[in-house]
Amino acid sequence: MPLIELENVEKVYQMDGLEVPALRGVTLTIDPGEFVAIMGPSGSGKSTCMNILGCLDRPTAGTYRLEGVDVTTLHDTALARLRNRRFGFVFQSYNLLPRTPAVENVELPMVYAGVTDRRPRALAALDAVGLRARARHLPTQLSGGEQQRVTFARAIVMSPAIVLADEPTGNLDSTAAGEIMSLMERLSHQGMTIVLVTHDAEIAAHARRLVQFRDGRIVRDEPLRRRPERVGGPAG
Ligand code: ADP
């Protein structure tokens, strides 16, 4: 069964009495374990699509089935529960609580879900992103790349079905961005489903499938070949 099925999804925003079409009939199927990059010019509907995928917003028309369930019929509480249990979110800005140690930031989704054995699970998630030794550090005591790795730990700590990452490397230098992409590849190898929005073709090249948006529609959807190993020779 596909993990995600969007069928003819439309989204129209109302602004000052005007209708702003953001998605104009998007059909997209994502299977478990896929690593999908979404690209497209600014205003083409990428964020709107991610918000709908993550159940942060509802389509104006069309259907969205998640693991076979039509989520457009769910009430807000059921939707919130689904968001908490089945999705991990990573944004360009890290959205960490600044006066709260890394490990407690990672525990937050488990607090909302009422999970009791939080500390060992949070430490295991920090271990998975290579930051076990920084568990007691405050976000301000971590580099940008490390903070983003903490948000990945927070995103995966509930063992979600899918991680949605919107420009996760947007604020990072190329070294830190490279570390984040290695981390995403590792999660993907472990079977995590990942959808990544980026404007950077080099970043997108780490994914296994590229979906291109334009004017609220998908204009390209194709598999990406695994990048050849660079054996000697100049990079690029
Ligand atoms: P992208 O992420 O590709 O830059 P968006 O999904 O943010 O594109 O936006 C798609 C279109 O929808 C744009 O024309 C944008 O101005 C419009 N839009 C996005 N969010 C809103 C909103 N909350 N209210 C009104 N219009 C919006």
When the pLDDT of each residue in the chain is averaged and rounded to a whole number, the result is 94
Does the residue 23 lie in any domain? no
Burial class (CB in 10 A: 0-12, 13-18, 19+), 56: middle
Enter the DSSP assignment of 17.
T
> 0.85 cut: is pTM over it?
yes
Instruction: Pick the residue whose CA is nearest to atom 12 on ligand 1.
Output: 22
Does the residue 75 lie in any domain? no
Ligand 1, atom nearest to 20 Cα: 26
Cα 11 to averaged position of ligand 1 atoms, centre (Å): 10
Does the residue 71 lie in any domain? no
Phi and psi (nearest 5°) for 11?
-135, 125
In angstroms, the Cα distances linking 64 to 18, 43, 192 are 25, 22, 20
Phi and psi (nearest 5°) for 107?
-75, -20
Question: Which residue range forms the structural domain that includes residue 172?
Answer: 32-55+85-223
| Domains held by the chain: number | 1
Phi and psi (nearest 5°) for 190?
-80, 0
- Is 22's C-beta closer than 6 angstroms to any atom of ligand 1? yes
Enter the DSSP assignment of 142.
S
Does the residue 210 lie in any domain? yes
- Per-residue pLDDT of 155-167, as tens digits, reads 999 999 999 999 9
- Per-residue pLDDT of 98-152, as tens digits, reads 999 999 999 999 999 999 999 999 999 999 999 999 999 999 999 999 999 999 9
In angstroms, the Cα distances linking 73 to 48, 50, 167, 171 are 19, 18, 29, 36
Pocket test for ligand 1, best of 23, 48, 51, 56 (most atoms within 8 A of CB): 48
Instruction: Pick the residue whose CA is nearest to atom 6 on ligand 1.
Output: 45
- Per-residue pLDDT of 195-229, as tens digits, reads 999 999 999 999 999 999 999 999 999 999 876 55
Does the residue 236 lie in any domain? no
